[in-house]
């Protein structure tokens, strides 16, 4: 029976159960109905319904009946599945199966290299090479047996496939993993459109940053809508046409990281699109933000491996965040379930597809329920892709896509025996079909004398023969043939007995030879099952407490985001920055996030009292020029990129937020870099350590934009620049042209409703209308002057000149124009345009009457801005109080927020610092840095936190070592590099695991 | 005498008004003309001692007396009541005079030679006394600098210069005092950009080990070569490191990582070199080994971010204090060339604030540095017999609030503290009629 069955199936694999009518046949037709009945099985119909001793009946690739009382047609091939489990096969919602190899990413924009300004894709397509909605995976699809086999081994029957390349990637198709026939494999073309922030193989310079990718997507949404009006000038744009045609299918966004998830959702909200978001493995770190997206998700099980941390020198450079993520990543799926977020599971991103099921089981041990796991592998992806009527559960009328397993599919030792796709059988582990485990009576008959032994066989065919000794036997089973070898005695000098025979029913029999060459006959009679000892070895790793989630998810994060308090600082020396000057022995009350009272002998019930005796209280430091807390700083691919926004790529987990709090900084103005003349829109943030990107923003502040002049924008250090401009003359003309275009655009928008909305020009129009303000990187006097003349010509004031190391030469002109100056205290000689820089710059400008700020442009120096301000006392004799205003009140004025911050005045935001000493002194340290009445930095608590970080690192290091010792997979200890986005304007010593990215600021 | 001095100053200031923005008028000064005594000063000796209401006398370029009872006979008196007197500051490592405009002007840069082994190149011959940076450093009390080459592996020889000279031969304070090597990194590097990170290719550890082997082979062969006087083919590179083997030169090894430093120590021991580790960011971890092997360090990056995001936020600020506790000899530097080390006293100030204490911090930019450079017999502290390298500040030189250098003497020469930045200040004060 068994042999016949095997043969029949092999035949069936060769000839598809469903024939394709339009195709001619060479030879004799051989049409089969593929009518099979799988009986006596435990059938898991879907995540909710389990049938015992049930039958699954399939025909022509479809399920025709399923249940416990299914009548079996006479012409059905019956497969007895007693002891077996049948599940609907899985649906992978995010693959590139059969859609061609993804091209290698082209890499980022090279500051020094020549640029590529337009797409080099031949044809009537979009200007940008990374926007390719015209690509349809179904056009490219070609079944790939080698790849399909790996998917099927993991239980998949159907996948969504697309070309994983580009920002708009085009549409994907739903295909089965049957590989006989491409036509029948495709279940649905254009099942979903896919997007990402990564430009992939595009060789075009733009976009070169995350914020550029976002701007490009925004502009493309606008362009596509505009294209519907059939604008004459555009001609045929096949990309925009395809974009428009693919808006009504599911929209999948490959975001991968928790913050990118939020970014993608925000983008969707702007254009009325609810993406299905392909998240990464770290959503658990910000589950509240995830929940707020209201998106459904595609999640992977690509959990990081433990690192080899045996060498403490290597382990030292692995961050706590990375170690914690290693421990917690398997909780990701469970966290989504617990938060009631709808999600599907994909096998994507795995380096080795073989660990897929093991990782699902791991996720289950870490909190995912089995029924949710099954739902996320079947119903959810099928529903999302609009194919739940065909796959995703075992119901009459659906495709005959199912797997047969030895045990419940998520149990530790479960094996998939067969994976049936569209009625075609694919063997996964055929040998698992039969279970030979059990106790047998082994009888050897040598010359008529019987010798009996107990033979115990485990499921993996490891076996023992028990007589006077217990001997280890080796059993090999091939179909129904069996071989057994075992030693004639224990220990050294043992020789082997060899038995060979056949399996008949539950019993085995055959002939054998002993070491001396004596022949025998033997039988092994099944006595009963093995008494199994429960497998308790595993499942223990959930028992121990895991790492705590902190906000942000890095060392020095808090388990709870700090909250606002009522704080009374007693008897401090208060630097008001107001006409009162410095007040001695003064109390300050902070309440509801504001400075509530200022005076002597204040008391407040319930307030946290901080003794300020001998200490100095000041307004928090405001850094006018910073590049922390962002994932990209420069969109340098074009000379005008006013469409990009720093706000789109804030990084609330930058440790430098915390470090700068320790230096008394409470607000930072995060600027675009200086790679181009018109850079991007800036973002003023408050250093609310632990907040999400939205909550970092300084609410209600005016919008600013970064401009840049001089060496950086003309790409002085490049030897192959082909981007206009290459001289200061050209820079001036770029500015003229930009504003000229903006003026015409504004007029056109008023006159013609069909004018194409241009995000780049929108920002410039805001400048014209005094709704957005410029902070302009500038050095030498001619460029400073012409920038002001451009402002004069187009009717706006250049709000701030930043760097402005030759500001002292044209301070009178700047005063007349009304600009603020924001400069370094004493940098000089790092490039040609700063040869005339002098430490006295700030003092001269201040004395001429300008509003002068001292900024950092440097994550390290920002921690010492108070000292940088103090240098204006040394260089030029500015008074101490005026000097301190250069890092507090003056930047507040420059940024139009002096009504809220910058001084200690009743009603202003409670953004204050308690210093151990005169805040201009090198000996002064911030003891408390308070933002909105919330203590975000507390020097005593910091010391305690540092100890906790060290202790947690030790615990996780030990755990990783344990993982290695236990034989778990490990990877080399990978340094957790800190990327510091910075200017190329000054050198940094090469810190070991910090990468300073020369972004030319 | 004292009066004459003041008049001279007024005259030179008047000249400044006329020829502003010309630092060419800032002249190096001739040898000390007669004895000078600084009186009623708070003298920070540089070795940890502070003398209040003390005098310092010097003649013919040498310090002749320090303390309460110093003879003033025939000397020019400088009354320093309420002022602070310090040894001249020493920059322990610099590309001063070799590197003028860092970015975009390749022609102005002479600090880094091409090639793996440049044992025989000498910084002193390229040291440009007319660099616009030198006078800016002097104005903040830096009187000596250790000018070192940079390179791939064996970098060449360094020299100590004094900052008031017509040419490099005048400037040489201790020529060719050390050989520099650069330890290759043993940490896997990462390439790529922010959102687009990629793992760098190759195995850096393996590559580094090959390079380190190259260094060892070089020194092994040099040692053998130097045993023999006559060679058919002279080898300049071997000749250049003779001083390492006879104890006249020190080996300066650039290394920050523990593994780099361990390999450096091994190298030093193998050849019996007198060694200094430069950079030494992670030196605290091997402090005991450094003490045991008598190896000092130049902390090249006091104002640095913590090495890793989990490190103490003040890790680098506290490092000097921790090393002091552990008994390691160290000097402090400011690695950021854009500020051109004019801020070296503030680097020390930060260390002072984070546990080192003020006098120890001063030592880390004066006497310790002199020891590490092998010139403590002639400078580094205000002690009788040493060169009169002395500065006077209005207040605490470690703190921006007090740092105001009003006088400086190099080998007793009363040097000008003027520079282009001050001249530009004068020029625009004039333009805007401000004070």
CA separation for the pair B366, B376 (Å, rounded): 9
SS3 per residue for B97-129:
CCECCCECCHHHECCECCCCECCCCEHHHHCCC
Which of A864, A837, A860, A824 minimizes the C-alpha distance to A988?
Answer: A860
Three-class DSSP category at A738 = helix
Omega prior to A207 cis, within 30 of 0: yes
Digit-coded pLDDT (tens) for A256-313: 999 999 999 999 999 999 999 999 999 999 999 999 999 999 999 999 999 999 999 9
Question: Over the Cα atoms of chain A, what is R_g?
Answer: 35
Mean pLDDT of chain A: 92
Which alpha helices (H) appear in A807-938, and where do they start and end? 811-817, 841-848, 865-874, 880-885, 889-894
Q: Is A142:A182 a contact under the CB 8 Å cutoff?
A: yes
If one counts every other C-beta atom within 10 angstroms of the C-beta of residue A774, the result is: 23
Lowest-confidence region among A472-476, A684-688, B198-202, B354-358: B198-202
Q: Which tokens is B373 given?
A: 């450079």
Three-class DSSP category at A501 = strand
Burial (CB count <10 Å: 0-12, 13-18, 19+), residue B435: exposed
Does B101 sit within 8 Å of A198, measured CB to CB?
A: no
Which of A989, A995, A996 has the most B C-beta neighbours within 10 Å, making it the best mutation to test the interface with B?
A: A989
Q: Which residue has the higher pLDDT, A459 or A1001?
A: A459
Nearest to B400 among A812, A871, A995 (CB): A871
Q: Which helix (H) or strand (E) holds A930?
A: strand A926-931
If one counts every other C-beta atom within 10 angstroms of the C-beta of residue B241, the result is: 23
Residue B340 Cα distances to B97, B363, B409, B424, angstroms: 11, 20, 21, 18
Give residue A784's pLDDT band: very low, low, confident or very high (50, 70, 90).
very high
CA separation for the pair A637, A1000 (Å, rounded): 13
A869 alpha-carbon distance from chain centroid: 39
Which of A174, A171, A159, A175 minimizes the C-alpha distance to A195?
Answer: A171
Three-class DSSP category at B12 = helix
Residue of B nearest to A556 (CA): B310
A386 alpha-carbon distance from chain centroid: 26
Give residue A996's pLDDT band: very low, low, confident or very high (50, 70, 90).
low
**CA torsion A790→A793→A795→A796, rounded to 10°?**
10
Residues of A in Cβ contact (< 8 Å) with B112: none
Q: Which tokens is A857 given?
A: 């442009």
Residues of A in Cβ contact (< 8 Å) with B283: none
Mind listing the domains of chain A with CATH numbers?
90-104+119-430 (3.20.20.140), 438-528 (2.40.128.120), 621-901 (3.20.20.140)
Q: Which residue has the higher pLDDT, A26 or A221?
A: A221
Q: Is B255:B278 a contact under the CB 8 Å cutoff?
A: yes
Q: Which helix (H) or strand (E) holds A657?
A: helix A655-661
Which letter does DSSP use for residue B275 in this model?
E
Digit-coded pLDDT (tens) for A226-260: 999 999 889 999 999 999 999 999 999 999 999 99
Which of A610, A622, A619, A609 minimizes the C-alpha distance to A582?
Answer: A619
Mean pLDDT of A117-121: 94
Q: What is the pLDDT of residue A541?
A: 52
Beta bridge partners of A159: A92, A175
DSSP assignment string, B20-74:
TT-GGG-PPP-S--S-EEEEEEEEE-SSS-EEEEEEEEEETTEEEEEESS---TT
Which of A994, A998, A989, A992 minimizes the C-alpha distance to A977?
Answer: A994
Q: What is the pLDDT of residue A391?
A: 98
Please give the span between the terminal C-alpha atoms of chain A, in angstroms, as a whole number: 78
Residue A948 confidence (pLDDT) above 80 = yes
Q: Is A490:A497 a contact under the CB 8 Å cutoff?
A: no
Q: What is the pLDDT of residue A690?
A: 97
Does B196 sit within 8 Å of A989, measured CB to CB?
A: no
Nearest to A631 among B195, B342, B349 (CB): B195
Q: What is the pLDDT of residue B169?
A: 98
Residue of B nearest to A920 (CA): B401
Nearest to B401 among A198, A838, A870 (CB): A870
Burial (CB count <10 Å: 0-12, 13-18, 19+), residue A82: exposed
Digit-coded pLDDT (tens) for A314-370: 899 999 999 999 999 999 999 999 999 999 999 999 989 999 999 999 999 999 999
Q: Is B151:B98 a contact under the CB 8 Å cutoff?
A: no
Nearest to B308 among A317, A839, A922 (CB): A317
Nearest to A848 among B103, B136, B434 (CB): B434
If one counts every other C-beta atom within 10 angstroms of the C-beta of residue B164, the result is: 24
If one counts every other C-beta atom within 10 angstroms of the C-beta of residue A584, the result is: 8
Give just the sign of the alpha carbon dihedral A879, A880, A885, A887.
positive
Q: CA angle, corner A966, sides to A962 and A968, nearest 5?
A: 95
Mind listing the domains of chain B with CATH numbers?
89-378 (3.20.20.140)
DSSP assignment string, A101-119:
PPPPP-----SSSPP--S-
CA separation for the pair B405, B141 (Å, rounded): 6
Q: Is B219:B226 a contact under the CB 8 Å cutoff?
A: no
Q: Which residues of chain B have pLDDT under 50?
A: 1-21, 192-200
Using the structure block, give the residue that is written with the tokens 């943030």. Answer: A685
Which letter does DSSP use for residue A854 in this model?
E
Which of A936, A370, A338 minimizes the C-alpha distance to A620?
Answer: A936
Nearest chain A CA: its distance from B73 CA (Å)? 35
Digit-coded pLDDT (tens) for A869-910: 999 999 999 999 999 999 999 999 999 999 999 999 999 999
Return all residues near B71 (Cβ < 8 A) that are at least 6 apart: B37, B57, B65
Please tell me the number of Cα atoms within 13 Å of A240 on its side-chain side: 21
CA separation for the pair A749, A753 (Å, rounded): 6
Three-class DSSP category at A968 = coil
**CA torsion A184→A185→A187→A191, rounded to 10°?**
-140
Greatest CA separation for chain A: 121
Which of A199, A627, A991, A998 has the most B C-beta neighbours within 10 Å, making it the best mutation to test the interface with B?
A: A991
Nearest to A831 among B104, B257, B308 (CB): B104
Does A860 sit within 8 Å of B303, measured CB to CB?
A: yes
Nearest chain B CA: its distance from A806 CA (Å)? 10
CA separation for the pair B227, B231 (Å, rounded): 11
Using the structure block, give the residue that is written with the tokens 């010309």. Answer: B22
Q: Which residue has the higher pLDDT, A688 or A456?
A: A688
Q: Which tokens is A212 given?
A: 């550029």
Q: What is the pLDDT of residue A19?
A: 61
Residue A277 backbone zone (phi > 0: left; psi -120 to 50: alpha; other: beta): beta
Residue B324 Cα distances to A852, B284, B297, angstroms: 40, 10, 11
Report ipTM for this prediction. Answer: 0.94
Residues of A in Cβ contact (< 8 Å) with B352: 922-923
Burial (CB count <10 Å: 0-12, 13-18, 19+), residue A966: exposed
Nearest chain B CA: its distance from A867 CA (Å)? 7
CA separation for the pair A248, A244 (Å, rounded): 8
Digit-coded pLDDT (tens) for A425-452: 999 998 888 888 889 999 988 888 888 8
Give residue A480's pLDDT band: very low, low, confident or very high (50, 70, 90).
confident
Residue A211 Cα distances to A184, A735, B161, B416, angstroms: 42, 22, 49, 52
Please give the span between the terminal C-alpha atoms of chain B, in angstroms, as a whole number: 30
Return all residues near A901 (Cβ < 8 A) that are at least 6 apart: A619, A620, A622, A666, A667, A892, A908, A909, A911
Digit-coded pLDDT (tens) for B320-338: 999 999 999 999 999 877 7
Three-class DSSP category at A173 = strand
Three-class DSSP category at B336 = coil
CA separation for the pair B11, A242 (Å, rounded): 81
Instruction: Give the global pTM.
Output: 0.93
Nearest chain A CA: its distance from B141 CA (Å)? 14
If one counts every other C-beta atom within 10 angstroms of the C-beta of residue A746, the result is: 17
Q: Is A736:A710 a contact under the CB 8 Å cutoff?
A: no
Q: Is A642:A678 a contact under the CB 8 Å cutoff?
A: yes
């Amino acid at each position: 029976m068994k042999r016949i069955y095997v043969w029949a199936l092999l035949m069936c694999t060769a000839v598809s159960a469903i024939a394709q009518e339009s195709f001619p046949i060479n030879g004799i037709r051989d049409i089969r109905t593929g009518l099979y009945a799988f009986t006596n099985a435990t059938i898991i119909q879907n995540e909710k319904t389990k049938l015992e001793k049930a039958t699954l009946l399939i025909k022509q690739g479809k399920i025709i009946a399923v249940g416990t009382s299914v009548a079996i047609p006479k012409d059905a091939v019956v497969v007895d599945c007693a002891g077996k489990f049948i599940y609907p096969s899985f649906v992978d919602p995010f693959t590139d199966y059969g859609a061609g190899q993804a091209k290698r990413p082209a890499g980022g924009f090279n500051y020094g290299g020549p640029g590529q300004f337009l797409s080099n894709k031949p044809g009537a397509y979009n200007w940008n090479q990374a926007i390719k909605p015209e690509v349809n995976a179904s056009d490219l699809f070609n079944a790939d047996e080698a790849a399909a086999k790996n998917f099927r081994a993991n239980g998949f029957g159907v996948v969504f496939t697309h070309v994983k390349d580009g920002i708009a990637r085009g549409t994907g198709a739903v295909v089965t993993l049957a590989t006989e026939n491409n036509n029948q494999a495709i279940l649905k073309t254009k099942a979903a459109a896919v997007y990402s922030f990564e430009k992939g193989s595009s060789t075009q310079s733009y976009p070169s940053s995350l914020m550029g990718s976002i701007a490009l997507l925004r502009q493309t949404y606008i362009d596509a809508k505009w294209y519907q009006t059939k604008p004459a000038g555009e001609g045929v744009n096949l990309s925009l046409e395809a974009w428009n045609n693919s808006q009504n299918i599911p929209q999948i966004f490959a975001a991968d990281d928790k913050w990118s998830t939020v970014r993608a959702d925000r983008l969707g909200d702007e254009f009325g699109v609810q993406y299905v978001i392909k998240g990464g493995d770290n959503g658990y770190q910000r589950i509240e933000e995830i929940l707020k997206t209201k998106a459904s998700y595609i999640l992977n099980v690509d959990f990081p491996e433990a690192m080899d941390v045996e060498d403490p020198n290597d382990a030292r450079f692995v961050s706590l965040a990375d170690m914690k993520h290693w421990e917690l990543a398997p909780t990701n799926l469970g966290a989504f379930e617990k938060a009631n977020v709808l999600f599907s599971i994909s096998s994507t991103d795995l380096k080795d597809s073989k660990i897929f099921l093991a990782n699902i089981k791991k996720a289950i041990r870490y909190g995912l329920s089995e029924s949710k796991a099954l739902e996320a592998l079947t119903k959810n992806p099928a529903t999302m892709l609009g194919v739940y009527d065909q796959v995703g559960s075992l119901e009459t009328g659906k495709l005959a896509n199912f797997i047969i397993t030895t045990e419940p599919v998520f149990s530790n030792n479960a094996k998939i025996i067969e994976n049936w796709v569209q009625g075609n059988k694919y063997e996964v582990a055929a040998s698992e079909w039969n279970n030979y485990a059990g106790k047998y009576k082994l009888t050897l008959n040598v010359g008529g004398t019987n010798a009996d032994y107990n033979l115990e066989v485990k499921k993996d065919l490891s076996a023992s023969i028990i007589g006077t000794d217990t001997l280890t036997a080796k059993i090999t089973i091939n179909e129904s043939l069996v071989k057994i070898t075992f030693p004639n005695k224990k220990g050294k000098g043992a020789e082997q007995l060899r038995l060979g025979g056949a399996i008949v029913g539950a019993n085995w029999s055959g002939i054998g030879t002993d070491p001396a060459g004596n022949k025998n006959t033997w039988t092994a009679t099944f006595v009963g099952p093995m008494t199994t000892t429960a497998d308790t070895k595993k499942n223990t790793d959930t028992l121990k407490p895991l790492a705590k989630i902190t906000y942000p998810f890095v060392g020095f994060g808090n388990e709870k985001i700090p909250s606002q308090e009522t704080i009374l600082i007693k008897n401090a020396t208060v630097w008001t920055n107001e006409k009162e000057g410095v007040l001695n022995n003064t109390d300050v009350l902070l309440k509801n996030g504001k400075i509530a009272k200022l005076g002597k002998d204040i008391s407040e019930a319930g307030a946290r009292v901080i003794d300020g005796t001998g200490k100095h209280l000041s307004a928090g430091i405001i850094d006018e020029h910073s590049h922390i807390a962002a994932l990209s700083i420069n969109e340098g691919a074009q000379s005008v990129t006013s469409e990009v926004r720093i706000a789109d790529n804030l990084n609330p987990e930058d440790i430098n937020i915390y470090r700068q709090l320790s230096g008394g900084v409470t607000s930072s103005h995060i600027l675009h870099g200086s790679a181009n003349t018109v850079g991007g829109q800036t973002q003023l943030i408050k250093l609310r350590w632990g907040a999400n990107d939205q909550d970092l923003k300084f609410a209600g502040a005016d919008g600013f934009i970064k401009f840049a002049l001089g060496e950086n924008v003309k790409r002085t250090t490049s030897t192959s620049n082909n981007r206009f401009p290459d001289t200061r003359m050209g820079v001036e003309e770029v500015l003229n042209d930009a504003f000229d275009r903006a003026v015409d655009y504004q007029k056109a928008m008023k006159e013609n409703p069909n004018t194409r909305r241009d995000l780049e020009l929108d920002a410039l129009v805001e400048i014209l209308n005094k709704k957005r303000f410029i902070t302009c990187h500038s050095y030498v006097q001619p460029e400073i002057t012409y920038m002001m003349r451009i402002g004069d010509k187009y009717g706006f004031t250049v709000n701030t000149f930043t760097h402005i190391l030759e500001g002292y030469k044209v301070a009178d002109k700047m005063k007349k124009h009304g600009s603020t100056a924001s400069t370094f205290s004493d940098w000089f000689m790092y490039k040609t345009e700063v040869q005339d820089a002098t430490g006295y710059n700030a003092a001269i400008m201040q004395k001429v009457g300008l509003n002068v700020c001292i900024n950092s442009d440097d994550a390290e120096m920002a921690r010492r801005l108070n000292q940088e301000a103090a240098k204006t006392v040394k260089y030029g004799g500015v008074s101490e109080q005026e000097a301190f205003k250069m890092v507090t009140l003056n930047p507040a004025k420059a940024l139009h927020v002096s009504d809220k911050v910058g001084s200690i005045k009743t009603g202003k935001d409670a953004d204050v610092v308690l210093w151990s000493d005169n805040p201009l002194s090198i000996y002064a340290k911030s003891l408390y840095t308070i933002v909105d009445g919330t203590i975000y930095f507390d020097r005593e608590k910091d010391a305690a936190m540092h100890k906790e970080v060290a202790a947690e690192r030790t615990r996780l290091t030990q755990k990783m070592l344990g993982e290695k010792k236990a034989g778990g997979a490990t990877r080399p200890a990978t340094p957790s590099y800190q990327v510091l986005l910075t200017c190329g304007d000054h050198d940094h010593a090469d810190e070991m695991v910090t990468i300073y990215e020369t972004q030319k600021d | 005498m004292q009066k004459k001095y003041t008049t001279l100053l007024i005259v030179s200031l008047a000249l400044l008004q006329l020829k502003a923005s010309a630092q060419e008028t800032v002249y190096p000064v001739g040898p000390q003309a007669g004895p000078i005594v600084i009186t009623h000063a708070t003298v920070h000796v540089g070795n940890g001692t502070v003398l209040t209401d003390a005098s310092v006398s010097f003649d013919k370029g040498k310090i002749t007396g320090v303390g309460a009872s110093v003879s003033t006979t025939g000397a020019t008196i400088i009354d320093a009541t309420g002022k602070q007197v310090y040894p001249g500051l020493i920059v322990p490592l610099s590309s001063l005079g070799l590197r003028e405009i860092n970015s975009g002007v390749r022609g102005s840069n002479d600090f880094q030679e091409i090639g793996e082994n440049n044992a025989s190149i000498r910084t002193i011959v390229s040291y440009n006394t007319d660099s616009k940076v030198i006078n800016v450093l002097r104005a903040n009390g830096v009187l000596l600098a250790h000018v070192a080459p940079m390179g791939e592996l064996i970098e060449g020889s360094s020299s100590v210069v004094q900052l008031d000279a017509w040419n490099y031969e005048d400037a040489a304070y201790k020529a060719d005092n050390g050989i520099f090597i650069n330890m290759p990194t043993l940490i896997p590097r990462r390439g790529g950009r922010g959102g687009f990170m990629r793992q760098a290719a190759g195995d850096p550890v393996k590559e580094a080990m090959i390079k380190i082997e190259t260094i060892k082979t070089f020194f092994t062969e040099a040692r053998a070569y130097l045993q023999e006087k006559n060679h058919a083919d002279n080898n300049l590179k071997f000749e250049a490191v003779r001083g390492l083997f006879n104890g006249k030169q020190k080996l300066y090894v650039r290394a920050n990582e523990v593994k780099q430093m361990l390999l450096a120590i091994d190298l030093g021991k193998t050849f019996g070199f007198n060694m200094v580790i430069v950079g030494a960011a992670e030196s605290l971890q091997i402090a005991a080994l450094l003490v045991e092997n008598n190896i000092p360090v130049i902390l090249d990056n006091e104002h640095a971010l913590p090495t890793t995001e989990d490190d103490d936020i003040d890790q680098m600020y506290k490092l000097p204090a921790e090393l002091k506790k552990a008994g390691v000899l160290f000097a402090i530097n400011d690695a950021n060339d854009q500020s051109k080390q004019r801020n070296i006293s503030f680097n020390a100030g930060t260390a002072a604030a984070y546990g080192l204490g003020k006098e120890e911090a001063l030592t880390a930019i004066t006497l310790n540095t002199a020891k590490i450079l092998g010139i403590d017999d002639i400078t580094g502290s205000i002690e009788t017999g040493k060169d009169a390298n002395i500065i006077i500040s209005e207040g605490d030189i470690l703190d921006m609030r007090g740092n105001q250098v009003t006088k400086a003497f190099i080998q007793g020469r009363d040097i000008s503290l003027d520079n282009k930045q001050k001249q530009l200040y004068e020029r625009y004060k004039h333009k805007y009629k401000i004070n």
